[in-house]
Amino acid sequence: MAIEYAVYRSELLGDLYITSDGEAIMKVELFPEEWRAFAGGHPVVQSRSPLLERALRQLDEYFHGRRRTFDLPLKWKGTPFQEEVWAALCRIPYGETATYADIAAQIGRPKAVRAVGQANRANELAIIVPCHRIVGKNGALVGYAGSRTDVKAKLLELERRYQSRFS
């Protein structure tokens, strides 16, 4: 199986690598050094497939304040618990935030706050599955790709700036 990818050049964050298996989006990587390890021995080819073109267009709309949610087939690679968390992330409204505890309660596992944090960290579909909308219980920007809370801050600011367009 060949893995296809395209690169979205974001003024805000730099290059984003979008990966597909031809049927669904598998990964959106903000950090190229992590993306390079993703293929796991499969051939990787740059592509402008209709699916990747659609993903690039939707990312462009998002970064220019014209899109709040994404409409793309996604291939999540996680446990049932992780996938439940990721689905909950997709329900956080554009421009708003939730805490790890909020998500744990929403999925009916109020004591699973740390597990929600681990699932959030394991999300390979950055931006499309909006893990950047999760904050610490005191509102602090925590837990985004290690210490890259600057990226989380930029994405939340972008959404807040354009939020009124959708009100």
Q: Which of 9, 3, 8, 1 is closest to 25 using CA atoms?
A: 3
Residues assigned a catalytic role: 131
Q: Is residue 71 part of a domain?
A: no
Residue ending a domain, among 32, 63, 94, is: 63
CA distance 108 to 88: 11
pLDDT in tens, 35-57: 555 555 555 666 789 999 999 99
Tell me whether residue 75 is in a domain.
Answer: no
* pLDDT-based confidence at residue 27 (cuts at 50, 70, 90): very high
CATH number of the structural domain spanning residue 100: 1.10.10.10
pLDDT digits (tens, 9 = 90+) for 62-102: 999 999 999 999 999 899 999 999 999 999 999 999 999 99
111 and 161: one domain?
yes
Looking at 12, 34, 63, the residue that finishes a domain is 63
Same domain, 101 and 36: no
Residues 6+ apart with CB under 8 A from 40: none
How many structural domains does the chain have? 2
Same domain, 120 and 94: yes
- Range(s) of the domain holding residue 14: 3-63
Cα–Cα nearest to 96, from 167, 149, 12? 167
Whole-number Å distance between alpha carbons of 94 and 130: 9
Full-model pTM? 0.87
